[in-house]
Structure 1
Amino acid sequence: MVEEKEKREDLPPVNFSMFILSLNTSALVHLGELPDPHSQQKKKDLALARQTIDILDMLKEKTRGNLTREEEKLLDTILYELRMIYLRVSGGK
């Protein structure tokens, strides 16, 4: 129980940017760019990658006008980079 509490204390605070970065990491794992944290294997799951990119795009639309400039830039940059990687690894499909 104490060990679990210590792990939670080591985590960064939850905010919108951290949430977006977490989704970015998930998408990169699904795109095969990063190893799965459990298996340590790189494996592509393009359907899950596409879904995560779509979630980020939905968040962009739903939060329009409510983000700081930094949050908006982060979201735009992440979406652009993920879409480019998706096109590369999917063969443009």
Structure 2
Amino acid sequence: MSNESGPDKPKIIIDSDWKSQAQAEKEKLAEAEAKTAGGTRAGGAAGGAGGAGGLPPADFHTLVGMLATQAVMYLGGVMDKRTGHAIFDPEYAYHMIGLLGVLEEKTRGNLSKDEADDLTAVLHELRARYVELAQAVAKSGGLEGGGRAAAGAASVQL
């Protein structure tokens, strides 16, 4: 049994190269992020990105990106791994877009030009996509099963 090397015995193949590839990709991303930051951020809690946890910086652009990503997800931009279908919930998308609108309203006059332009562009794109999808849902007769999600899609008032 110790000298068995027949075709029935499974072989274990260890791919340790993926670790070095992942590390190289992390380093490339860190370099790219450092170039885009341009050294404008001061060190400290807000600028401590890319550390052991690999978290993005805690800044305005990250906050806008986080809320926008959730809105895009609920507008069908992300596939559910369990079902293989796009995640589509217009009520939650509407809520996320609304939160970005509140953020725009409450920070008006207190943002840098870059931050204000970023937020305006993100809101414009998300609102346009929401209206487009809401019209498509209304044209097709609503969502399967109706309910609050279909009603939320029909009431477009951003």
Q: Structure 1-normalised TM-score?
A: 0.83
Corresponding residue number in structure 2 for 1:56: 100
The residue type equivalent to 1:60 in the other structure is E
Percent of paired sites with the same residue: 34
Corresponding residue number in structure 2 for 1:73: 117
The residue type equivalent to 1:33 in the other structure is G
- Whether 1:43 and 2:87 are equivalent positions in the alignment is yes
Q: Which has the higher helix share?
A: 1
Q: Distance in 2 between matches of 1:18 and 1:83?
A: 19
Query: Which residue of 63, 86, 93 corresponds with 2:130?
Result: 86
Aligned-CA RMSD value: 1.9
Q: Where do 1:22-41 residues align within 5 Å?
A: 22-36=66-80, 39=82, 41=85
Query: Which residue of 13, 18, 25 corresponds with 2:62?
Result: 18
Q: Distance in 2 between matches of 1:34 and 1:23?
A: 14
Larger Rg, first or second structure (1 or 2)? 2
Query: Greater relative contact order (Cα 8 A, min sep 6): structure 1 or 2?
Result: 1
Unaligned runs of 5+ residues in structure 1 are none
Cα offset for 1:53? 0.5
Unaligned runs of 5+ residues in structure 2 are 1-50, 137-153
Q: Which has the higher strand share?
A: 2
Count of aligned residue pairs for this structure pair: 86
Cα offset for 1:41? 4.3
Q: Structure 2-normalised TM-score?
A: 0.50
The residue type equivalent to 2:69 in the other structure is T
Cα offset for 1:34? 2.4
